Amino acid sequence: MIHETIVLNKKRDVRLETYVLPCGNEFRFTEKRPAVLILPGGGYDFCSDREAEPIALAFNTKGYHAFVLRYSVGEHKTWPNPLNDYEAAMQQIKQRSTSWNIIDNNIGVIGFSAGGHLASAAATMSGEKPDAVMLGYAVTLEQAAKAMDASFPGTVEKINRGTPPVFVFASRNDPVVPIENQLAFITKLNDFHLQYEAHVYAYANHGFSLATEEMIGKNNPDICSRTPAWFDDAVTWLDDVFSGKSQAHRVSAYHDAYDPYLSVNHSLHHVLNNDEARALLSSYSDKETAFPVPGRYPLLKAMQFIGMSVEDIRSLDKGLNKIKNI
């Protein structure tokens, strides 16, 4: 393991700690690895050790390179210092991705609490977007962000089409960062038809980190038993995103809203609303007006459902690709 500390900004005490794993040789199934950049919480007053190395080691055991960023806090926390630190860290990682054996476009970011605010800003406001983002009991609402520092922006309103897939986990009764921060964030992601997964646990203290005995003590009655599952869930979700699986699972509403041309990924309802597309569809099937599936179903699934052949579906898709999505 390459475990070293890289100073990114001496004046502001910004440091990147590496947990870089070996590849190749005896690890013959692993030429390169995905990576995750960890942004600990601490209310921008400090960077919590509880959300730093333990998270890095946990990702290591799943085969990920890991990095902990000690971003600007305390007297140096003025926005956009932390966001600039994040961007410097990402640039550092990308510059050295060859020597560290990092898979291109497989760099995720995870942030907790205030670090979750920074991660959500990275996902929405930065030019150095991560490929996936995981938010743990994150601050996202303007009101909550301002409570930490008047200069911190809310991130919900910054969500845009370029926001990468997001994994959200938090506790409903979080007394420090109200759960409204998560509900607002995922609702806005949903409005943009973006990809996300969300786990809101019935009860758990703020700052549970991995929710292991080491983090929360033995038999802590204030943390519900589902809570520790977030980590394994986040990793398989990240694997899905990095393997391209999540691309295949965009909702049809995304395509309806954003694609420049039609395809079989659009919703049945949307395609039937386009006269040219409707006519094309009729030439393949006379069932188009009586589909037993709801209009939000992707055309692809609807056609599979009524038994259209793979060849016909491909041909139909090519035809649709010539029709503008207006």
* Of residues 6-65, those binding a copy of itself (CB under 8 A): 21-22, 25-27, 29-30, 48-50, 53-54, 57-58, 60-61, 63
> Which tokens sit at 247?
């691309």
Q: Does 287 bind a copy of itself (CB under 8 A)?
A: no
Contact mark string toward a copy of itself, 113..152, x via CB under 8 A = ----------------------------------x-----
Contact mark string toward a copy of itself, 241..280, x via CB under 8 A = ----xx-xxxxx--------------x-------------
> Which tokens sit at 117?
């605010």
Q: What does the alpha-carbon distance between residue 29 and residue 39 come to, in Å, rounded to a whole number?
A: 29
Nearer to a copy of itself, 49 or 157 (CB): 49
Q: Is 75 in contact with 13 (CB distance < 8 Å)?
A: no
* Of residues 146-205, those binding a copy of itself (CB under 8 A): 147, 165, 172-173, 175-176, 178-180, 183, 186-187, 190, 195-203
Cβ 282 to a copy of itself, closest distance in Å?
Answer: 22
Can you tell me which of 14, 107, 216, 277 binds a copy of itself, judged by CB under 8 A? 216
b/e map 98-116, b = 16+ CB within 10 Å? eebbbeeebbbbbbbbbbb
> Which tokens sit at 292?
């037993």
Cβ 293 to a copy of itself, closest distance in Å?
Answer: 7
Cβ 122 to a copy of itself, closest distance in Å?
Answer: 20
Can you tell me which of 129, 146, 158, 226 binds a copy of itself, judged by CB under 8 A? 226
Residue 46 phi/psi, 5-degree rounding, is -155, 175
Nearer to a copy of itself, 90 or 234 (CB): 234
Cβ 224 to a copy of itself, closest distance in Å?
Answer: 6
Nearer to a copy of itself, 81 or 171 (CB): 171
Question: HEC profile for 146-195?
Answer: HHHCCCCCCCHHHCCCCCCCEEEEEECCCCCCCCHHHHHHHHHHHHCCCC
Residues recorded for the chain: 326
Chain-centre distance for alpha carbon 277: 34
3-class SS of residue 95: helix
Per CB under 8 A, which region of 110-118, 119-127, 208-216, 309-317 contacts a copy of itself? Answer: 208-216
Q: What does the alpha-carbon distance between residue 56 and residue 223 come to, in Å, rounded to a whole number?
A: 22
